[in-house]
Amino acid sequence: MPKLLTGAEIVFKCLEDQKVEHIFGYPGGAVLPIYDELKNHPSIKHILVRHEQGAGHAAEGYARSSGKPGVVLVTSGPGATNVVTALTDAYMDSVPLVCISGQVPTHLIGTDAFQECDTTGITRPCTKHNWLVKDINDLSKVMHEAFRVATTGRPGPVLIDIPKDIQFAKAKYKKPNKEKKINVKSHNKFSQDQIDELVKLLSKAKKPIIYSGGGVINSGPKASQALREFVELTGFPITSTLQGLGAYPGDDNQFLGMLGMHGTYEANNAMHDCDLLINIGARFDDRITGKIDEFSPNSTKVHIDIDPSSINKIIKVDLAIVGDVTSVISKINKTIAKRKNGHSKSNKSNIAKWWEQIEKWREKDSLNFVNSDESIKPQHAVQRLYELTKNKDTYVTTEVGQHQMWAAQHYKFNKPNRWMTSGGLGTMGYGLPAAVGVQIAHPEKLVIDIAGEASVLMTMQEMSTAVQYNLPIKIFILNNQYMGMVRQWQELLHEKNYSESYSEALPDFMKMAEAYGCKGIKADNPADLDDKIQEMIDYDGPVIFDCHVDPNENCFPMIPSGKPHNQMILGPNDQEENKIKGKGKALV
């Protein structure tokens, strides 16, 4: 007779077999049996957060920086509803999460019991799949299946709802099936013919561009390696979405910077004028495309994606290749190499003119800003932060808003998995807990949350978590006293009616740091900025850095609503030069 285990024991057996080392969670009545079992499993470390949303974002930061699924453990009712924002965030940005939630005992389900909610009902639209385990004999199978669903294909969050009586009930434990590898392969649905067709397009292109996205990061470090080889082999220019930053080195000459609403002039114009557009692991998000009708009007479009439903969803493409980015690009690289053996002619000369055009766009220097000796410009602050941390293997998270865009524009990433930001859902309050998760996964590395003062207040309490586990995260707040992006839109779109976007009362972040038991640093003078940043980097422990910046700075360049890529508003230098200030604004 095999040994019978309780539901709580089975949960941990599964976590051990799935090689889980960290879980982020918060206890409560309906998960107490699982928490009771925690002590018997020393290989699994639990990180106690201060709010379940924080657990979710921390698990996201953990997953995105390590490539492993993040695991979350919460109680029923409010525990589950609090984690919904993080699950939705993970769903939008394709982050593998496994969330285990407690539920009231089976016989009480549906009776409006204390801390009961329809967890599987609430989370159905924001997970890849979810399960309510009503029979203890299903538990091990469901747990393993959950990890498989979360991590294969296009990754995403899953949730397992376990009633309290199931956590006590006993059953036999079943090991995971070994058929995993077959499933991974089944996501590759492309043929050599498609690869050949793409290679043919590559050789004919005169004005090509590669547009890569988060899919390259999700496919693992090998995908970034293959992408770099591909870009080198072809000599093509490459631009990246917000989520794809780091897959290709940000300081390389072939990299045009980020594209989209706040992308560079050269990247967006190249997207508009190109004759061949190769989308690798991106999804034609509305922040990228601008006006659909006028999106890259004269190009042949190729889309490489693991998710068939991403193809032709927004932009109709001419060649779709469904598969894992690593496999597809490696195949392309091999095919190119083979062809070159026959006749070594590359088409680099074909695209020389295209590069000349791109260099002309580059001369606009669209990320420029008017620096100041009196106040710290937020862009300058990010640039100094980059210069002082670029020689370390730094991990950066962000909140959402202007600071996020400035970080994306001015901080250059050379490796994948170093940049964690909430792109799809745009969750203010993501960065601080995400930094906690990143630091747990990489205890020796420098982890910085580039934050805004409004965003960071949404999940500020997680500083307490950072202090508890002595996680030396650096919260670099670009404090402009406004919800900056809201203020910018109100300035440009709503006749400067700054309705409720100014925080009349803000906490003293220095005192706040003291209250949490971490270090506070304040900077308001450009002359001291470097020294203070260095002080932050050198301090061994969590830091809240209150960087007072010019409150009226706007994030440029910007594509106004309903406009195509080639009608951008540029920064103040250019606006003065061309005297389009009034007209440019009217375009918005």
Partner 1 sequence: MVKSKSAYSVPTKKQKPDTYIFVIWVDNEAGVLARVVGLFSGRGYNIESLAVAEVDAVKNISRITIVTTGTPQVIDQIRLQLTKLVPVHKVAEFKREDKDVIFKEMALFKIVGKRNKIEKCLNACKKFNPVILDETKSSAVIQITALRREIDVMNKKLKPLGLISTSRTGAVAMTRGAKIFN
Catalytic positions, written as ranges: 52, 114-115, 164, 485
Q: Does 121 bind partner 1 (CB under 8 A)?
A: yes
Nearer to partner 1, 339 or 563 (CB): 563
- Binding residue for partner 1, selected from 151, 289, 333, 366, defined by CB under 8 A: 289
- Total residues contacting partner 1 by CB under 8 A comes to 30
Task: Check residue 583 for interaction with partner 1 (CB under 8 A).
Answer: no
Residue 18, φ and ψ in degrees, nearest 5:
-90, 10
Site membership for partner 1, residue 292 (CB under 8 A): yes
Could you say which DSSP state residue 318 is in? S
Q: Does 372 bind partner 1 (CB under 8 A)?
A: no
To partner 1, the closest distance from the beta carbon of 170 in angstroms equals 23
Q: Which of 29, 249, 308, 551 binds partner 1 (CB under 8 A)?
A: 308
Interface residue with partner 1, options 68, 129, 174, 412 (CB under 8 A):
129
Q: Is 569 in the site for partner 1 (CB under 8 A)?
A: no
Span between the terminal Cα atoms of the chain, in Å = 73
Give bridge partners of residue 23 from the DSSP assignment. 46
Cα-trace Rg, the chain: 25
For position 256 contacting partner 1 by CB under 8 A, the verdict is no
Least separation in angstroms between residue 286's CB and partner 1 is: 6
Looking at 72-80, 116-124, 434-442, 508-516, which segment touches partner 1 (CB under 8 A)? 116-124
Q: Quick one: 19 or 313, whose CB is closer to partner 1?
A: 313
Tokens of 297: 């009007």
What whole-number distance in Å separates Cα of residue 518 and Cα of residue 196? 57
**Selected binder of partner 1 within 4, 337, 493, 527 (CB under 8 A):** 493
179 touches partner 1 (CB under 8 A): no
Where b means 16+ CB within 10 Å and e means fewer, 132-168 reads: bbeebebbbebbbbbbbbbbbbbbbbbbbbbbbbbbe
Q: Which residue's CB is nearer to partner 1, number 119 or number 389?
A: 119
Question: How many Cβ atoms sit within 10 Å of the Cβ of residue 513?
Answer: 22
Given the rule CB under 8 A, which of 96-104, 199-207, 288-296, 401-409 is the region that contacts partner 1?
A: 288-296
Which CB sits closer to partner 1, 65 or 130?
130
With respect to partner 1, which residue has the nearer C-beta, 446 or 588? 588
Torsion of CA 538, 543, 544, 547, to 10 degrees: 0
Q: What is the closest distance, in whole angstroms, from the C-beta atom of residue 312 to partner 1 in the complex?
A: 6
The Cα 511–Cα 201 span in angstroms is 60
Crossing angle of helices 352-363 and 265-273, in 10° steps, is 140
Q: Could you tell me how many residues make up the chain?
A: 588
Helix residue ranges, H only, 23-176: 32-37, 52-66, 78-82, 84-92, 119-123, 139-151, 164-168
Nearest distance from C-beta of residue 81 to partner 1, angstroms: 18
Which residue, 65 or 409, has its beta carbon nearer to partner 1? 409
Residue selected from 206, 494, 581, 583 as contacting partner 1 according to rule CB under 8 A = 494
Query: Binding segment for partner 1 among 107-115, 121-129, 402-410, 573-581 (CB under 8 A)?
Result: 121-129
Q: Which of 170, 204, 316, 392 binds partner 1 (CB under 8 A)?
A: 316
For position 586 contacting partner 1 by CB under 8 A, the verdict is yes
Residue 142 carries which DSSP code? H
Helix H, strand E, coil C: the string for 241-256 is CCCCCCCCCCCCCCEE
In contact, 10 and 139? CB cutoff 8 Å: yes
d(CA 463, CA 547): 17
Q: Which residues bind partner 1 (CB under 8 A)?
A: 120-121, 124-125, 128-129, 132, 134, 149, 261, 286, 289-293, 307-309, 311-313, 316, 489, 493-494, 561-562, 586, 588
